Structure 1
Amino acid sequence: MPDALPKPIIHLINGFMNENGGSEQEALHIARLLRDRSDLTLWSPSSRCSPELARRHGIRRIGLGAGHRPNGGTFVFVGSHWRNKLWPYLCRAPQRLIYVFNTFHPKLLSLTATHPPMLRWPRTEYVFISEFQKTLLGVDGDLQPSPIDIARFSPAPRRHPANARPVIGRLSRDTPDKHDLEDIALYRAWAGEGAEIRLQGATALRAAAEDALADAPAIRILPEGAMPAVDFLRGLDVFYYRTGAHVETFGRVVLEAMACGLPVVCHRRGGYAEWIRHGENGFLFDTTEEARRLVGALLADRALRASVGEAARRTVESIYSDDALRARADFYLRSAK
């Protein structure tokens, strides 16, 4: 019987600094897709690599010594780049060079598009996480939605009692640019209509709002990472999302909420919007008044919440089916052309 073909060598590179970061979670999910089908090593070039992530996932710190840097095979950078580092000049050049590009920054795009001739690295291949992002950047590349574990992010076995206060929630990193200050008035209005508001990753909003949220006991503000994302989402009835200065290239948390069977009400600006069919599997808005009206309709209609949430779950199941995930993994596993 002939020997089995050797598995492709893949080096997956990310800062791995924040356990709750979207870029880190994306890198780890790609690793899960590839681990059984490749000779895979996870690397961090950052001195701020999370010790817990490193221990749990076997992540190695990149250094200058032999055996402490990626060597040959396929280099996959996820939300990271190598500029101003010495180690690329010391390692064997990759056969393929892939950047999973999850930002809008043109400067980073230019940094990753070309390399010093002495490196002899191959042409850069890009993976974009939404058509929205790809179109804005105007660069060709493979399109792969940011990965989600839909076995873990799934509808709760049972909801709270029918007479309980409906819960509107939001989840994000805890930075000011992730929040729109106009949402403060919405949260107060919905709380006044009998809803409970849960905002995880919103202490930055509370600081910006000063006293506007202090006298609203139905509004609960939690720091980033206070609860596992799946547990937080499963405690909601409606997921609401709008950012401030930050523009979501994909918005993984919106798809995670949909995977949990939640009706989502989201600002139209973001990569997630291309997966939302307004009025069928979620809702999109442009103005604050539209957001107020859409959430109000969901609060008043339990059956509408259920039907839209079920459609949202079906959408996510189609995006992350076994066949779709295998096809995305195949992109990383193929040989250099």
Structure 2
Amino acid sequence: MPNAAPKPVIHIINGFMNENGGSEQEALHLASVLRDRSELTLWSSSSRCSRDLAHRYAIRRIGLQPGARPNGGTFVFVGAHWRHTLWPYLARAPRRLIYVFNTFHPKILSLTAAHPAMLRWPRTEYVAISEFQRRALGVECEVQPSPIDIARFSPSPDPRPDNVRPVIGRLSRDTVDKHDIDDIALYRAWAADGAEVRLQGATSFSAASGDALAAVPGVQILLEGAVPTVSFLRGLDIFYYRTGAHVETFGRVVLEAMACGLPVVCHRRGGYADWIRHGENGFLFDRTEEADQLVRTLLANADLRESTGARARATVETIYSAKAVRERADFYLRGSR
């Protein structure tokens, strides 16, 4: 029998600084999708690479010494770039150069769209993680939703008891710009009316708001990563999400909540909105008053919560079916040897 064709060589490059960061999770999930079909290596471009992540996922730190940098194949940069560093000049040029664009920052476009001629690198191919982002960027690119493990993110096997307080929750990185100041009044009102509100990754927001939520009965503020994401989501009845200055290019956590069979109530501004059909598999709002009414409607109707959550799960199963995931992975595997 003839020898099997060699697998494509792929290098995924990210800072890998924060285990709970969307960019890091995106890189790790992409690696899980590509690993069985390629010769794959994970590289950290940052001196602040998480030691725990490096140990668990065999992530190598890029350096100037021999063997400490990607060589040939396909370079896939996820939330990192190659400008203003020396190692690219010592590495064998890639066959393909892919930038997974998870930001709106125009400076990143200028940094990645061109590179010094002496590198002799191929043109940059862009991957946007939502149509929302592609429209905002205005560049030619592949559009692929950020990968999610829907076997792991799945509805709880134990139904929520009917005789407990309904739980509204959200989670994100623990930065102020991930939160909207107008949500404080909503959290207080929902808790006063008998719901439980759980906010994971909200300590900085609470402090910046003068601890306006710190002593409110029924409101629980948790550190980022205090409860594993799947466990946290499975403990909710409703997932609520709005950001402040930060604009979500994709909003992985919203799709993770949908995968766990939760009804989501989200601000319309964000990449996740491309996948939410208002009133069917989730709810979108523009104004604070709309958000309040939507959440209260769900609190009062357990059947609506269940049916919306079931349709949310079905939507995510379609996005991340084995066939869809494999077809999206094919993009990275082309011409990478």
The TM tier, using the shorter chain, reads: over 0.9
SS in structure 2 at match of 1:240: strand
2: distance between equivalents of 1:173 and 1:217? 24
SS in structure 1 at match of 2:329: helix
Give how far 1:212 is off.
Answer: 2.2
Equivalent position amino acid for 1:106 in 2: P
Q: Residue in 1 aligned with 2:300?
A: 300
What does 1:1-337 correspond to in 2, within 5 Å?
1-335=1-335
TM-score by length of 1: 0.99
2: distance between equivalents of 1:146 and 1:11? 18
SS in structure 2 at match of 1:40: strand
Q: For the aligned residues, what is the CA RMSD? A: 1.0
1: distance between equivalents of 2:72 and 2:93? 5
1: distance between equivalents of 2:60 and 2:214? 44
Give how far 1:286 is off.
Answer: 0.2
Equivalent position amino acid for 1:170 in 2: R
SS in structure 2 at match of 1:308: helix
Equivalent position amino acid for 1:111 in 2: L
2: distance between equivalents of 1:212 and 1:258? 29
Instruction: For residues 201-238 of structure 1, give each alpha carbon's deviation from its aligned partner in whole angstroms, at most 9, with x where no partner exists.
Output: 00012112214223312000001010111100000000
Equivalent position amino acid for 1:82 in 2: W
1: distance between equivalents of 2:229 and 2:157? 16
1: distance between equivalents of 2:95 and 2:331? 14
1: distance between equivalents of 2:290 and 2:106? 32
Equivalent position amino acid for 1:321 in 2: S
Q: State the 4+ residue runs in structure 1 displaced beyond 6 angstroms.
A: none
Instruction: For residues 117-166 of structure 1, give each alpha carbon's deviation from its aligned partner in whole angstroms, at most 9, with x where no partner exists.
Output: 00000010001000000001000111100110000000001233201100
Unmatched segments (≥5 aa) in structure 2: none
2: distance between equivalents of 1:63 and 1:336? 23
Deviates more, 1:117-126 or 1:208-217: 208-217
SS in structure 1 at match of 2:150: coil
The answer to whether the 8 Å contact 2:255/2:316 transfers is yes
Equivalent position amino acid for 2:84 in 1: N
Give how far 1:309 is off.
Answer: 0.3
Paired residues, number: 337
Give how far 1:45 is off.
Answer: 1.4
SS in structure 1 at match of 2:139: coil
TM-score by length of 2: 0.99
1: distance between equivalents of 2:24 and 2:241? 21
The answer to whether the 8 Å contact 2:165/2:195 transfers is yes
Equivalent position amino acid for 2:194 in 1: G
The answer to whether the 8 Å contact 2:10/2:336 transfers is no
Equivalent position amino acid for 2:199 in 1: L
1: distance between equivalents of 2:334 and 2:214? 55
Give how far 1:83 is off.
Answer: 1.2
Equivalent position amino acid for 1:5 in 2: A
2: distance between equivalents of 1:232 and 1:159? 14
Unmatched segments (≥5 aa) in structure 1: none
SS in structure 2 at match of 1:68: coil
1: distance between equivalents of 2:131 and 2:238? 26
Percent identity reads 76
Deviates more, 1:269-278 or 1:205-214: 205-214
1: distance between equivalents of 2:211 and 2:169? 20
Equivalent position amino acid for 1:300 in 2: A
Instruction: For residues 290-321 of structure 1, give each alpha carbon's deviation from its aligned partner in whole angstroms, at most 9, with x where no partner exists.
Output: 00000000000000000000000000000000
Give how far 1:192 is off.
Answer: 1.1
